[in-house]
Amino acid sequence: MYDLLLTIHNLVRWFFLAAALYALFRAVKGVSGNAVYSKSDMTAGALLVAAAHTMLLLGLILWFISPNVQAALAQMAVSMKDKAARFILIEHPLTMIIAVALIQIGRIRSKKAYADIDKHKRSLIFYGIALVLVLSRIPWHVGL
């Protein structure tokens, strides 16, 4: 079960990255062209939020059933001194939770903005910061 969920989590990462790049592309295009915040922009944000929440759900399930996490939790003091154990135990999950929160806040704030340019700017800022956080903590050495 763990290996299957980990594989799905690794595959969905690519959908998340594509959705993030698409949403950022739409935001940059909107800011630079002073464009109307269209249905395509709303869809891009919705896809990003859906991908982010899917990744978060899969990640949390993996965190709770992971034998690596359970072993690291058993020896917390030793785990905090080990870079790899600290990464899977604290750094990766906490950073991803913060990134998902930023994506959700960005979506809400962009929808509530009055002017189209403000909607694009808010999307660009929140989605951009979230993507930087995600990219900083993706374990690139793991599969696919």
pLDDT in tens, 70-102: 888 888 888 888 888 889 889 999 999 999 999
Count of structural domains, the chain: 1
**Lookup: tokens for 93:** 């999950």
- Give the contacts of 132 (CB within 8 A, at least 6 positions apart): none
pLDDT for residue 70 = 87
Band (pLDDT 50/70/90 cuts) for residue 143 is: very low
Could you count the other beta carbons within 10 Å of the beta carbon of residue 87? 15
Residue 97, in any domain of the structure: yes
Q: What is the mean pLDDT of residues 106-113?
A: 95
pLDDT for residue 77 = 83
Residue 91, in any domain of the structure: yes
pLDDT for residue 142 = 59
From the number of C-beta atoms within 10 Å of its C-beta (0-12, 13-18, 19+), residue 10 rates as middle
Domain interval for residue 30: 2-137
From the number of C-beta atoms within 10 Å of its C-beta (0-12, 13-18, 19+), residue 127 rates as buried
Residue 59, in any domain of the structure: yes
Residue 112 has pLDDT above 60, yes or no: yes
Residue 144, in any domain of the structure: no
pLDDT for residue 144 = 40
Q: What is the mean pLDDT of residues 106-123?
A: 95
pLDDT for residue 72 = 84
Residue labelled with tokens 């930087």: 132
